[in-house]
Structure 1
Amino acid sequence: MNCGSFLFIIGSMWKKILSLFLLVIMTGGCLASAVIQRNGVEEDAGFAVTGEWYVARHNALRPYPETITYTLGKLTGSSNSNMPEGDTYENNAYTRYLKNKLNVQNKDVFETSGNSYNEHVSIAVASGNLPDVFLVDSEEEVKKLADEGLIADLTDAYDDCTSVHVKNIYGSYGDTILEKAKVDGKLYALPETSVDDGPSLLWIRYDWLKKLNLPTPKTVSDVRRIVKEFMEKDPGGNGEGQTTGLVTEPGLYGVSGYSQEYQTDIIFSSFDSYPGHWIYKDGQLVYGSIQPETKKALEYLHEMYQHGTLDNDFLFRDSENITELIESGRCGAFFGPWWSPNYPLMEAISKDSDADWRPYLISTDSDGDTSFASQNPNGRFVVVRKGFAHPEIVMKIVSALFDFMPYGDESTKELESYYSDNVDVTANPLGINVDFKNSLSTCYNHLQGVLSLGEDESDLTVLEGSYYKACQDYLKENNRRQKVNPKNWAVYTSRIVAAHRISDERVREVKSVYFSETKTMRNSWWQLNELEKKAFISIVTGDEPLSYFDEFVREWMSEGGNNITQEVRKANE
């Protein structure tokens, strides 16, 4: 073959290759305008497969090429979640950070809290007009919405678009936490985590104790005696009969564990009673509310009610009303979690800088130990409307908030003031917290290491660093005997003082083992809860004698409780 022929053949081959390449490009153009199916959602193929979009959809922290605006059912917090003036739930440090980091923006279709939030969700479900992202309260609601085809399967999104760190967080709770968000093996929600809060602490006016020369409390009997002294001797100067007894909400105990304010769980625990919890007793799984120990606890609460040391108006109290009593100086003691300095006490000392609120661990047995029932590791569940083109958006947001942000860069600087100012987690769009099971004790140990042991401040996360600064400022203010900043006080008192109290080696956790719903529960649990609430209140107030408890137990068992007990036991075999 001569040289000319060889070059001719080579040239012909390149023409064919070029033609084939152009054909592929043209075909790609056609494909880009086609419609494909992904997870049952119609999408523009070009939108889905273009390089930048594909990477964004499969990488936890890669921003979208264009802003994704998603509609949101927004859960709000008290006092506008403590956000600074001018910030809103659509425009705050969290949303600005997420816009910068991921190029996402929420548009809230409703903003509300508590029972009102659940009502808004129910209305949206009934109307078929769901926001792209919203929260539900329970795994039963997740299953119901999944069965009705209203929420998206998030399995692939979780696998592809959740950071390893966030997956490790969920892993710290074992397999159960994600399993509760699954239906037929598929993930339909992203659960909020509930960190170990430990037992409730007694929060008490230490300045009142000093004024009356009373010793600090160690037992429930001490609490009762101190409250009586507060009421009779009026160290707050409220006037005769104006200082309340120990405040509590009508429910008396925290149904979801100890991260409840204004309850009397510690009093129940002092009788080895754990109402509302499924616990093991003598090798058998039992419901705590119907045990003989609970009868004894109710008898004690009735005695307190008779003598006024349990607030005689507790039937008419709610969280907001009790908070007003605390802030106005009419209440000198309540049981609450370690984070009580953030709410309501920060506002209380803002109004009265002489109010010296301190936490105490109250023992529940003669050995000096403090027992408490473990709580449900799941909080709320984040779900995505089926048909929304970007179900992975919640995974990206959670990864950006709870993986990258704690160790962040300049983009996270604005959030440091949110931490030190105790802005509530409900300020973030999803309104949830995702953290390791032992995150409270870990944070305490890290802060103590820097504050007391000379460890390197640079090893702290952004969140811990903001707490460290607030603690430093508080200690300086306190040492100089100058008026302390309530925000700094709240950080130090919750993250150092209270966290130290519940890390005590005498704290003993009683395992609560069942948080799901059985078949009989679906039809009977609401009525049984109402029956229980009526019985407890009637016994405490004296409307019914103590013997009524036995009648309540018999009725509870006959109205479905016996079947439920057998179902719970079978589920835990």
Structure 2
Amino acid sequence: MNRKAKMLLVLTLVFSLALTACGKAEEKAEQPQKPETSAAQEDPNTVVEVSTVVPSDQYLKFDEGETYDKNAVYDQYEKDIGVKITNKWITDTSQFKEKVKMTIASNDLPDFMPVNATQLKELTEADMIMDLTDIYEQYATDQTKEFFQKDGGMQMKSAMFDGKLMGIPRSSNPLYLQFLYVRTDWLKEMNLPEPKTMDDLMKISEAFSKRTENGKSYGLAVSKDPFNVDTGVTGLRAFLNGYHAYENMWIEDGNGNLVNSDIQPEMKNALAALQDMFKKGLIDPEFAVKDAEKEAELIYNNQIGLVYGASWVPAQLVKGAVKDGKVVQEWGVYPIPSVDGNPALNQIGLGADEYYVVAKQAKHPEGFIKLLNQWIVVDNALDPTEDQKIYMYGKDRKEKGNNYWLLSPVRVGNQTDNNGAILPKAIADKDESILETADQRTRYGRAMQYLDGDTSLWWEYLISGPNGAFSIVPKVQEEKLYLQNKFYGAPTPTMADREEILKKKRDEVFFKIIMNQVSVDEFDKFAAEWKKLGGDEMTKEVNEWYADHK
């Protein structure tokens, strides 16, 4: 790419940011020389320093005197692998993604940071990040390399551009399921059935909305970012799945081609149902201006008793469920109910929605790989050493619900797990001999503490216990009650350029439909406009990719 082309790219990205606030890459980094051999390669005792950026997570609680900049976890990384971690900036989790966009736009990257797939492509094309092919080959341990091949290497391939490894997938299990959580004490109180169908859910929702315990109540929790899978206790993605509608996925059309799920007829049906719920007062009329935590206050205050979310949602519900050491709310977890006789399918992706990238100017890219290696060692240690316990529990090495593991700046999850098959049985039988992983041992320990009277760990029992979220997973796996996104390549040119704009337009129209500001038929106009605004070209590019990857 010549200098003129680079400058043109810079101007284009800046203009795009100003118009859409999508934070496209602004400046083009100068071509640095290939990193010299680091001192750490010559002397294993030498400490190297690497910078990153950090979201301040509400679930992380510090020991006295510790902060994001100075804590036992950072100290342990420096002691164990000779990597000193510094934070370029720290911001609230809710602002983190926007801050990353601005960091890219200003070309003020830390040594490494997480980005989404579109940003990975943009940074690669702008030559702002490092080709990790040789560095990964040299510094990644055999354990790390094996770890990333458990899915056949699909996640790693998604980070390849022209044969170059431009990022490391922030790996997770693709089977990232959603569930329905319900106030079971209210079901008993009102003599309502457990939700097996969407019709059951609607009846429960109406009944719950008529409660007057603490003022106006509603049926279903919804917030201003309901289609984000990580939204928490106020998401709608699983609700859509109950109508066989899927949020921004590429699915087969029955003729061997891929189509985008956002514009399919099933989506219109789901939106019509949500609009009907809104008109009946089953959804908070102010949901569009409330973030997940603000909306969740209604749950804590006994004003909402139905929520969709991932397996970790009980860790948020506990804020209302346990008061002064007593369990004051009873919750149950259920599979996603369906609108008809066909089972609802959980939508899942590749398991790699984000990637760690290393800035082109980073002096010690090997430091990032060493952090990656160490996380995989510690997170997968069945019997962690006393020093390894610090990464999970802090300097006192005791489980106290502080979630110290959130301090590790590089975190990747296993692409497979058998928690659903192991944990509910182990906890029911109080048999730890069948546990197979460090994660299972930690969760088992928390569940036992809950059963011994520690109500602060109520949430773990609702996740891992005999009737917890994990107990639902084996059936989903065995009966393949999930639908995976068929497109897992790097963003196509039109996707990189138009997808965020199309999502923004989608959310605008969908919110107006849900809030009964426009007719549900506005969906048809949106679908036509989606095609004209780049959707048709994006679909063409996706199918060209699919033809080579079926």
TM-score category of the 2 structures, normalised to the smaller one: 0.7 to 0.9
Distance 1:271 1:452, change over 3 A: closer
Contact between 2:115 and 2:356, CA under 8 Å: does it hold in 1?
Answer: yes
Give the distance between the partners of 2:451 and 2:425, measured in 1 at CA: 16
Q: Which letter maps to 1:135? A: P
* One-letter code aligned to 2:355: F
Distance in 1 of aligned mates of 2:475 and 2:529: 40
- By how many angstroms is 1:450 displaced? 3.9
| Alpha-carbon separation, structure 1, partners of 2:88 and 2:176 | 36
Q: What is the CA distance between 1:163 and its match in structure 2?
A: 2.3
Written as runs of structure 1 = structure 2, the 5 A alignment for 1:401-420 is: 401-407=375-381, 408-417=384-393, 420=399
Q: Does 1:277 align with 2:255?
A: no
Distance 1:511 1:133, change over 3 A: closer
Distance 1:370 1:331, change over 3 A: same
From 111, 126, 148, the equivalent of 1:132 is 111
Distance 1:537 1:413, change over 3 A: closer
Superposition deviation, residue 293 in structure 1:
1.5
Aligned partner letter, 1:369: P
Structure 2 letter corresponding to 1:514: F
Corresponding residue of 2:406: 427
Q: Which has more radius of gyration?
A: 1
Q: Distance in 1 between matches of 2:430 and 2:96?
A: 46
User: For residue 218 of structure 1, what is the aligned residue in structure 2?
Assistant: 196
Taking a change above 3 Å as real, the CA distance of residues 252 and 93 of structure 1, as seen in their structure-2 partners, is same
Matched, 1:71 2:51: yes
Provide the C-alpha distance between the structure 1 equivalents of 2:231 and 2:105, rounded to a whole number of angstroms. 32
CA distance in 2, matches of 1:279, 1:365: 20
Change in Cα spacing, 1:42 to 1:510, as seen in structure 2 (3 Å) is closer
Is the contact made by 2:233 and 2:309 (CA closer than 8 Å) also made in structure 1?
A: yes
Which of 101, 115, 136 matches 1:158?
Answer: 136
Residue number in structure 1 paired with 2:475 = 504
Contact 1:259 / 1:337 at 8 angstroms: preserved in 2?
Answer: no
Q: Secondary structure at the match of 1:107?
A: strand
- Partner residue, 1:330: 303
Paired letter, 1:370: A
TM-score, normalised to structure 2, is 0.83
Correspondence for 2:328 among 331, 354, 367: 354
Contact 2:239 2:336 in 1 (8 A): no
**What does residue 267 of structure 2 align with?**
294
Counterpart of 1:105 in 2: which secondary structure? strand
The residue aligned with 2:6 is none
2:236 corresponds to: 264
Distance 1:133 1:322 in 2: 33
> CA, structure 1 residues 465+511, in 2 after alignment: closer, same or farther (shift >3 Å)?
closer
Aligned 8 A contact 1:201 1:338 in 2: yes
Q: Which residue of structure 2 lines up, in the alignment, with residue 489 of structure 1?
A: 458
- Mark the CA change 1:462 to 1:97 in structure 2 (over 3 Å): closer, same or farther: farther
Matched residues in 2 for 1:312 and 1:500: separation?
34
Question: Structure 1: any 5+ residue segments left out of the alignment?
Answer: 1-37, 54-63, 478-483
What CA distance in whole angstroms lies between the structure 2 residues aligned with 1:380 and 1:443?
23
Equivalent residues, number: 503
- CA deviation map 1:329-375 (0-9, x unaligned): 22211111111012x11222233731112212233254473312112
**How far 1:65 sits from its partner (Å)?**
0.2
What's 1:308 paired with? 281
TM-score (norm 1): 0.80
1:476 aligns to 2:452 (yes or no): yes
User: Within the alignment, does 1:100 sit opposite 2:79 as a pair?
Assistant: yes
**One of 366, 369, 380 as aligned partner of 1:395:** 369
**Mapped partners of 2:419, 2:242: distance in 1:** 29
Inter-partner Cα distance in structure 2 for 1:258 and 1:508: 20
Indicate the larger mover: 407-416 or 325-334.
407-416
Residues 40 and 47 of structure 2 are in contact (CA less than 8 Å); yes or no, is this contact kept in structure 1? no
1:232 pairs with 2:228: no
Q: What letter is aligned with 2:235?
A: Q
Displacement after TM superposition at 1:318 (Å)? 1.4
Conserved? CA contact 1:77–1:426, under 8 Å: no
Q: Name the SS of the counterpart of 2:346 in structure 1.
A: strand
Quote the offset at 1:416 in angstroms: 5.0
- Partners of 2:293 and 2:415 lie apart in 1 by 29
8 Å contact kept, 2:206–2:219: yes
Tell me the distance in 1 between the aligned counterparts of 2:54 and 2:247: 32
Correspondence for 2:4: none
Q: Any conservation in 2 of the 1:246–1:334 contact (CA below 8 Å)?
A: yes
Indicate how the Cα distance of structure 1 residues 278 and 357 shifts in structure 2: closer, same or farther if over 3 A, else same.
Answer: same
Alpha-carbon distance between aligned partners in 2 of 1:258 and 1:133, rounded to the nearest angstrom: 22
Gapped regions of structure 2 (runs ≥ 5):
1-31
Once the two structures are TM-superposed, the CA of residue 543 in structure 1 deviates from its matched residue by: 2.0
* Correspondence 1:89 to 2:83: no
Equivalence for 2:527: 553
The DSSP-based 3-state class of the residue aligned with 2:475 is coil
Give 1:279 deviation, angstroms: 0.6
The corresponding residue for 2:24 is none
Contact 1:416 1:466 in 2 (8 A): no
Say whether the 8 Å CA contact 1:68–1:104 is kept in structure 2. Answer: yes
Deviation at 1:508, TM superposition (A): 0.8
Q: CA offsets per residue over residues 134-177 of structure 1, 9 Å max, x none?
A: 22222x32233234333222212211222222222221233331
For 1:185, give the aligned amino acid. G
Q: What fraction of aligned residue pairs are identical, expressed as a percent?
A: 24
SS at match of 1:195: coil
Q: Structure 1 residues 117-126 or 502-511, which shifts more?
A: 117-126
Residue aligned with 2:452, SS: helix
TM-fit CA distance, 1:456: 5.4
Using the alignment, how far apart are the partners of 1:223 and 1:217 within structure 2?
Answer: 5
Alpha-carbon spacing, 1:111–1:306, altered in 2? closer, same or farther (3 Å): same
1:121 is displaced (CA, Å) by 3.6
Residue 568 to residue 271, structure 1, CA distance change in 2 (3 Å): same
RMSD, matched Cα: 2.8
Correspondence for 1:538: 512
Moved more, 196-205 or 492-501: 196-205
Contact 2:174 2:350 in 1 (8 A): no
User: For the Cα contact (< 8 Å) 1:189–1:381, is it kept in 2?
Assistant: yes
Q: Distance in 2 between matches of 1:405 and 1:561?
A: 41
Compared CA separation, residues 403 and 452, structure 1 to 2 (3 A): same
